Amino acid sequence: MFIENTESLAQNKLLLLYIIDKSENSLTNEEITEFLLENNYMNYFLIQQYLSELIQSGFIEYINKKDKKIYILLNKGKITLSFFEDRISTKIKEEISDKFIKIKEDEKIATQVTGEYFQKGPDKYIVNLKLVENTETLFSLYLNVTTIKQAEKICNTWKDNTEFIYKNLLNMLADDKIISVED
């Protein structure tokens, strides 16, 4: 499709493997493409060609996960990356790392989940569960509990299952279908 020297071709494929590996969240085709185009690492057609070739060669896989298609790095890709990662320039690695840090900070700002408690009196703790998205409070709930153990358990359960609890609480209040944990 496109003629490119072997060194550049290998480096671009390594770059794709590196990005898929270093991202904390699994990436979609759109996210990888946008990331590479924004930074002028390669053009759209090369990105698509290389992703396809990496799939066909067994370095990565394109799978369905939670209603979206994502790329995952397979063992062959991890081994290859471990041998040749040093061929990606330090500057590019730093740019990628900085970009992922910024994305993580933006996501953190976009959605904040808090679960905190304080003692109001003997055998009385107030628990506050909160879900904030883009500085707008979507959900806030205050509960009175009698032990610190209950307060901690409620906060931890909220933080670990926010989406599930929030959706089901809304569905219960709106008399809609309740979602099971497996969904």
Is the Cβ–Cβ distance between 47 and 33 less than 8 Å?
A: yes
Q: Does residue 81 surpass a pLDDT of 60? A: yes
Confidence grade of residue 181 (pLDDT, cut at 50, 70, 90)? low
pLDDT at 1: 45
Confidence grade of residue 102 (pLDDT, cut at 50, 70, 90)? confident
User: What is the set of domains in the chain, with CATH numbers?
Assistant: 6-88 (1.10.10.10), 110-173 (no CATH)
Beta-carbon contacts of residue 166 (< 8 Å; ≥ 6 apart) = 131, 138, 139
Q: Mean pLDDT in the chain? A: 88
Total-model pTM: 0.61
Q: Does residue 82 surpass a pLDDT of 70? A: yes
The mean-pLDDT minimum among 42-56, 115-129, 165-179 falls in: 165-179
Q: Which of 32, 65, 58, 67 is nearest to 47 (CA)?
A: 32
The Cα–Cα gap between 36 and 47 comes to 8
Token reading at 81 = 């990356």
Q: Which of 57, 72, 69, 67 is nearest to 29 (CA)?
A: 69
Beta-carbon contacts of residue 54 (< 8 Å; ≥ 6 apart) = 13, 16, 17, 60, 77
